[in-house]
Structure 1
């Protein structure tokens, strides 16, 4: 019997505003879509927190032995996103400022995104589609929405008629808004006067002559609207009706609201059973913003090269810190908070070493089955990672008591206990033991220093061909040598 049949999982559904018992559309199979990054800059810490929340959700669903198709997109299309300045899309603006092709910008920051998520031990999604790879699908959806009478053309652009849609559907039910209140929230787009109603949103925008990223369509050379890409990619890979759609709280309106409307206009059915939204991350009690300097990038946490923290922290410590708050709670990041989290993380890792050498006894004095179920109960309650962590520290207390001879477990119970601790700490929460990582880093440093010594000897022997070969092959592996007055150092 699969594990999911023994557990009752409840998920807070943003659509109903309540925790609901999770029941997949197809037994044993789950389709989950999460809105990915717009790749015009380094991924920021708030994004990492959102994606980490869904990484843990993905991990737990896999742990319950569901077959999960997890789709997380890359937004690489030159559309106008919600807060773009003067109607200029952010990828094109970055390309113009740095004198690059837009796809060079996309590639640079997609690589950065993947590197950061790998450092934080995220599982890769099952499918990672790009918006530019699905222009044809987006055009086909627009055709269907026009055919339904909800989409209309104006000067080469296509808009979604929100008022007409609302005659037979409820636009605003996810965010709890109504048509009258939406005037103040209408996005400022070029061609605003082309709309029938100020609340209407763009499905396709005709590109101005200076707009770099553009594609041919039946209506104009242009680009798709922001909301359309996720409708196209989620339904292509998960079907018109799937289980879970996630993203940051800031996407609830207008992005997810518009996704629902597009899908219902196109297919006649609601697309998603469970809408999930992760809350925001603040820094020292204030909103994170580059303009105020109240900002830190994920990589800067790992290197210590910032003015916010007292030192560098490992990715696992940062991950442990974030998971101490429920994904629907606001989380405040500060030096004091992550220093405290590091102490807790180390206690947990030390216990995970001690558990390997615990003695066994002829009888158990601890109810391990009840403790194990308490861990499941925490995660079954809308993926409550802080309660799970509290239960894991109860497990740490048991480890210390057994190690001190004050409590005991039979060999069978100790195996159950050890497997459960390892499953929840490493598989579900996705933590890594720093000592293992440090050992790998030490080996890398030793190997590179040996090659630097060989290169120095080659230079001393005037064997510049060998010297250059060592340097170039290290560069090809992503290891950069730096020659200075104090000798040669390297960076990865």
Structure 2
């Protein structure tokens, strides 16, 4: 078997993957900010790194997969500097901040279960690690790379760069940006006058009187900066240095760049050896965003309830759609592309299920050339996955096997054309990759997406009602669905599944 190679954003090249500890992998992936519902853009990184997680385990590694929950607001370096998304949304929805956080965390977990994503090994929250964040900030100040102004603490980017650039660790090493250019182009933000340089970023912010979420610190009451949260949590659970840091390409700068700088100061080494970034999703060739009116939430995807959507799309259709493109390539969303993915998944799944039912008994192949072709295609599954997790090429190989499977069923290909050994290998490889590694499942593959979408919408409404302690509405939805033969089951992780009798 070929060895695993991954594209390292830090070195900008493919490298042979070699973990720090033999047989073990530490992987940190930036999780959601739970101030609202996840959308299509969020689906891609979480499905991408679920595949990475599954494949690493398939290779025999014991993986500690850490994916955080950002529930302490979301400090906006590129927007209004002191805006807290969670406090702002809590005020709008008339909920306590942590009530809002719980609502959207539950909804996020539910969406992940719909996509059949495995839960991470550890899912730390930013609010649960304030002590660790304050400790890191104190270390950075003590080492001379941060300064306090009016109860806020800023990282001194220029001093860091002066000391670490000669060591080959400049600020901008991940994104390829040059500090001098950043100082010229950084736009003016709130409290800019507090900083020594425009490029400096906040480690801790002084909380104004109206700010709801606040914690005591050596510098007064305030809240953490966005970047320090991930550094603190990755260090606590994966150590001073770990194997893989993942996330969307939009996080390379400033988030991951800042993580590298502050973690390097605290731990005296670059935090992760391999940085993996998935590319973005566009909608009909345009960037996805609220201002474009093309940001589609996951419940809207599942129900079809959005002006852009022509129909509802089942979670497995979306998962399959994402796997059809290499994770580092741009993925353009459109109704025609998703409809094609729906048809493609149905065709593949039907052939896969058929392959598991047919039993061939011929000891030797009657068609040596076909037998060799099938074996060669099966061998490409691992070959392509070892080439930077190329799911698109694996799917292409699978579709080359579909006519063979259908041909044997329809008797266009003789039952003894393949040897029993080759057929058993085909059954084994397809089950392994379709279900275990690609995470596709039968419940929604080629199923009634509209029915599922309606039920999922009702589950979401019921969850919202329970969050607001409106148990009359919650119970009514459960009971009415039960009379229609649809049983709801509340899971331990806060999500809800259903079965049809």
Q: Which residue of 2 aligns with 1:372?
A: 378
Find the counterpart in structure 2 of residue 266 from structure 1.
266
Q: Which has the larger radius of gyration?
A: 1
Measure how far apart 1:438 and its partner are: 5.5
1:4-19 alignment, distance < 5 Å: 6-19=1-14
Question: 2:422 matched to which residue of 1?
Answer: 413
- Distance verdict in 2 for CA 1:148–1:187, change over 3 Å: farther
5 Å matches for 1:81-480? 81-85=76-80, 87-169=82-164, 170-183=170-183, 186=186, 189-355=189-355, 356-364=357-365, 365=368, 366-367=371-372, 368-403=374-409, 404=411, 405-406=413-414, 408-434=417-443, 475=474, 479=478
Provide the secondary structure at the position in 1 that maps to 2:163.
Answer: coil
Q: Using the alignment, how far apart are the partners of 1:22 and 1:187 within structure 2?
A: 39
Tell me the distance in 1 between the aligned counterparts of 2:233 and 2:255.
Answer: 14
- The more displaced of 90-99 and 77-86 is 77-86
Consecutive unaligned residues in structure 1, runs of 5 or more: 1-5, 446-470
Shift of 1:442: 9.6
> Which is further off, 405-414 or 51-60?
405-414
Q: 2:308 is paired with a residue of what secondary structure?
A: coil
Hey, what's the Cα distance between the residues in 2 that align with 1:472 and 1:157?
43
SS at the partner of 1:87? coil
CA distance in 2, matches of 1:269, 1:48: 31
Q: Describe the SS at the equivalent of 2:311.
A: coil
Give yes or no for contact 1:84–1:90 (8 Å, CA) kept in 2.
no
- TM-score, structure 1 as length reference: 0.87
1:138 shift after superposition:
0.3
Match of 2:49 in 1: 54
CA RMSD of aligned residues (A): 2.8
* Residue 189 to residue 219, structure 1, CA distance change in 2 (3 Å): farther
Higher mean alpha-carbon deviation, 308-317 vs 172-181, is at 308-317
- Worse-matched range after superposition: 101-110 or 76-85: 76-85
SS of corresponding position for 2:480: strand
Any idea what the Cα deviations from partners look like across 1:290-334, whole Å, max 9, x if unmatched?
A: 333223222222222222232222111111111111111111111
Q: Which moved more, 1:302-311 or 1:127-136?
A: 302-311
How far apart in 2 are the matches of 1:490 and 1:95? 33
Count of residue correspondences: 458
The alpha-carbon deviation at position 488 of structure 1 amounts to: 8.5
CA-CA distance at 1:256 after TM superposition = 0.3
Cα distance 1:140–1:427, how it changes in 2: closer, same or farther (>3 A)?
same
Give the 3 Å change call, closer, same or farther, for CA 480–184 of structure 1 in structure 2. farther
Q: 8 Å contact 1:79–1:224 — kept in the other structure?
A: no
- 2: CA distance, partners of 1:265 / 1:89: 27
C-alpha deviation, 1:13, in angstroms: 0.3
In structure 2, relative to structure 1, the CA distance for the partners of 1:307 and 1:130 (3 Å cut) is: same
CA contact (8 A) 1:481 1:489 kept: no
| Segments ≥4 residues shifted beyond 6 Å | 471-474, 487-492
Residue pair 2:248, 2:280 contacting (<8 A) in 1 also: yes
Q: 1:185 offset after TM fit, Å?
A: 5.6
Secondary structure of the corresponding residue to residue 78 of structure 1? coil
Structure 2 runs not aligned, ≥5 long? 165-169, 455-469, 489-501
Aligned-pair distance for 1:97? 1.5
C-alpha contact 2:82 2:205 (8 A) present in aligned 1: no
Cα displacement (A) at 1:103: 0.9
Measured in 2, the distance between the counterparts of 1:200 and 1:472 equals: 48
